[in-house]
Chain A
Amino acid sequence: MIADQEIREALGLQVPGLSLDPSRTALILVEFIYGHMHPNFGAGPQLAAADIDGSYFFTQCSQRVLPHGRLLAEELRPRGGKVLVTSTGSAFGDYKEIAPGVRPVIEARGHRKGSREVAVLDDVADVVDIVVNKVGSGAWATTNIDDILRFSGIDTLLFAGVHTHGAVLMSAHWAWDLGYETIVVSDACTTLGDRLHQRALSLFRNLGIRVHETHDVLSALLDSDEKHHSDLENREDQ
């Protein structure tokens, strides 16, 4: 039995090393909002009411996802990259415009326009360029994010956020299928358990979506600085 990743390597179709042009790169912070990532809002009370222990998830959010997401945004923006946050909620207030598959979750968590649940977390709010409001799970099916990115000259996407096996998976798959260079930052994503997280990472790799850690991305950004300086020097020499 073989997996697609092995096939790609055997056929010489493996994904090359990570290289970034920050001016053509956007960081998508998937659901960096109170309702999905803060234990006191939305998901927190909902999990508690269902007698589900959410401590692993919220610890991962506070100790890994938020700090790594912020660090990536802080390093990307000064180099010309863009930072987008996705948020899911009902503007009508009756949740009828929410995609039926995700509607029960969004309604149960109280994601309505103006609520704290749909607000971007203060931890990253000052490093965000655009908030994309969606009415489904992924970033593409129900938004104009594709237009925003293409008109901005973006062709490379870094994904961070929650849940790795939910909205992140849905968003990264669709982005890859529109031809974007797609990179999932594994230590800036989490979900309800490590097995679910690893399963999603495996599916990404098998499809050809890159999976890297935050330090890999930061190294690639530093490399882009050197390339930028080298290009400037060459131009001056000419």
Chain B
Amino acid sequence: MTTDEGLETTPDIGFAKEGQLDPSTTVLMVIDMTYGNAHSDYGLCEMCRQNGLDISYYVDRLEQLVIPAIKKVTEAARDAGIKVIYFQNGAELEDYSDVHKNLRPVYQLWQQRRGKPGFEIREEIRPEEGDLVLTKIASGAWAGTNIDNILRFRRVEHVIATGVATNGCVLTTTLGGWDKGFFFTIVEDATATTGQRVHEQAIEVMRDYGMPICSSDEIVRTIAESVTPKNA
């Protein structure tokens, strides 16, 4: 729609669309679902509560939508032979000097580093044998890990993204990955951030870049359809 202030949405003038889902060239990313980022008693949520901020929207979304959705999608991915890659964000070093200065104060504040409880991935969706777990010392996966090499060596083309925060590590990872040439699908109910409006803004940006936005039920169905039934 055109207005006096220009277009309200990005016109579809050629951004790439979804690639075919092939389990052998697809991975599932579970981004920063650690206690420090995604549990009401630790890290971000604990700090917010101590400072009088209402974090209930985020906590409710995590418990009611995101954790069940990620559980469902990771199980479907493993069944289909899709590699699951977990990211746990935080410092490897005790003095946080391995984290860049834009993130360091945040990690220091809620003690997001190896050895602390907040660094661990949520028990309900914990990694299983055959999954990959990478420590991420930056917001996005590209600046803070060797994920680019891993995906290219495995000849990965398509990435399914879940995790937190929609407007932070998820957005930085998906935008960077898109620009590296990978096709992303975003599982909307498996992502969250601290406010609904910011969540929707980030989802809109990813949609504008041509990334399909789907539900966990939809991606589970797509994954199931992409593999031949074992008993067929």
Tell whether, in the assembled complex, residue B179 and residue A136 are in contact, meaning their CB atoms are under 8 Å apart: yes
A124 to chain B, nearest CB (A): 23
Interface string of A207-238 (1 = CB under 8 A from B): 11000000000000000000000000000000
**Which residues of chain B (6-42) have a CB below 8 Å from chain A?**
6-11, 13-16
Instruction: Find the A residue at minimum CB distance from B100.
Output: A179
Tell whether, in the assembled complex, residue A177 and residue B194 are in contact, meaning their CB atoms are under 8 Å apart: no
A78 at the interface (CB under 8 A from B): no
Tell whether, in the assembled complex, residue B5 and residue A101 are in contact, meaning their CB atoms are under 8 Å apart: no
Residues of chain A contacted by B172 (CB below 8 angstroms): 173-174, 177, 207
Residues of chain B contacted by A105 (CB below 8 angstroms): 13-15
Tell whether, in the assembled complex, residue B106 and residue A13 are in contact, meaning their CB atoms are under 8 Å apart: yes
Interface string of A101-130 (1 = CB under 8 A from B): 111110010000000000000000000000
Interface string of A10-44 (1 = CB under 8 A from B): 11010000000000000000000000000000000
B47 at the interface (CB under 8 A from A): yes
Tell whether, in the assembled complex, residue A4 and residue B6 are in contact, meaning their CB atoms are under 8 Å apart: no
Q: How many residues of A contact B (CB 8 A)?
A: 56
Tell whether, in the assembled complex, residue A165 and residue B205 are in contact, meaning their CB atoms are under 8 Å apart: yes
Interface string of A70-103 (1 = CB under 8 A from B): 0000000000000000000000000000011111
Q: Tell me the complex Cα distance, A2–B47, Å.
A: 13
Instruction: Find the A residue at minimum CB distance from B1.
Output: A193
Q: Tell me the complex Cα distance, A171–B208, Å.
A: 16
- Complex partner residue of B176 from A7, A141, A208, CB under 8 angstroms: A141
Tell whether A193 pairs with B6 under 8 Å between CB atoms, given A1-B194, A6-B53: yes
Tell whether, in the assembled complex, residue B205 and residue A2 are in contact, meaning their CB atoms are under 8 Å apart: no
B45 to chain A, nearest CB (A): 10
A-B contact count (CB 8 A): 184
Q: Tell me the complex Cα distance, A166–B210, Å.
A: 12
Residues of chain B contacted by A132 (CB below 8 angstroms): none
Q: Tell me the complex Cα distance, A195–B200, Å.
A: 14
Residues of chain A contacted by B175 (CB below 8 angstroms): 138, 169-170, 173-174
B207 to chain A, nearest CB (A): 11
Tell whether, in the assembled complex, residue A10 and residue B53 are in contact, meaning their CB atoms are under 8 Å apart: yes
Tell whether, in the assembled complex, residue A178 and residue B15 are in contact, meaning their CB atoms are under 8 Å apart: no
Tell whether, in the assembled complex, residue B48 and residue A4 are in contact, meaning their CB atoms are under 8 Å apart: no
Tell whether A179 pairs with B101 under 8 Å between CB atoms, given A101-B181, A137-B179: yes
Tell whether A7 pairs with B180 under 8 Å between CB atoms, given A104-B14, A174-B142, A192-B6: no
Instruction: Find the A residue at minimum CB distance from B140.
Output: A177
Residues of chain A contacted by B140 (CB below 8 angstroms): 173-174, 177
Tell whether, in the assembled complex, residue A99 and residue B7 are in contact, meaning their CB atoms are under 8 Å apart: no
Tell whether A100 pairs with B196 under 8 Å between CB atoms, given A10-B53, A165-B205: no
Residues of chain B contacted by A10 (CB below 8 angstroms): 48, 51-53
B56 to chain A, nearest CB (A): 9
Q: Tell me the complex Cα distance, A102–B15, Å.
A: 6
B143 to chain A, nearest CB (A): 4
B202 at the interface (CB under 8 A from A): yes
Tell whether, in the assembled complex, residue B171 and residue A11 are in contact, meaning their CB atoms are under 8 Å apart: no
Tell whether A138 pairs with B11 under 8 Å between CB atoms, given A4-B198, A11-B109: no
Sample of 6 further A-B pairs with CB below 8 A, known A176-B102, A196-B9, A207-B167: A1-B195, A7-B194, A52-B13, A178-B143, A182-B102, A193-B9
Interface residues, chain A, CB within 8 Å of chain B?
A: 1-4, 6-7, 10-11, 13, 46-47, 50, 52-53, 56-57, 60, 99-105, 108, 136-138, 140-142, 165-166, 169-170, 173-174, 176-180, 182, 191-196, 199-200, 202-203, 206-208
Can you offer 26 A-B residue contacts whose CB atoms are under 8 A? A2-B57, A3-B197, A7-B44, A7-B48, A10-B51, A10-B53, A13-B105, A50-B11, A99-B179, A101-B181, A101-B183, A103-B16, A108-B13, A137-B178, A173-B140, A174-B142, A174-B172, A174-B175, A176-B139, A177-B140, A193-B8, A195-B8, A196-B208, A203-B201, A207-B139, A208-B102
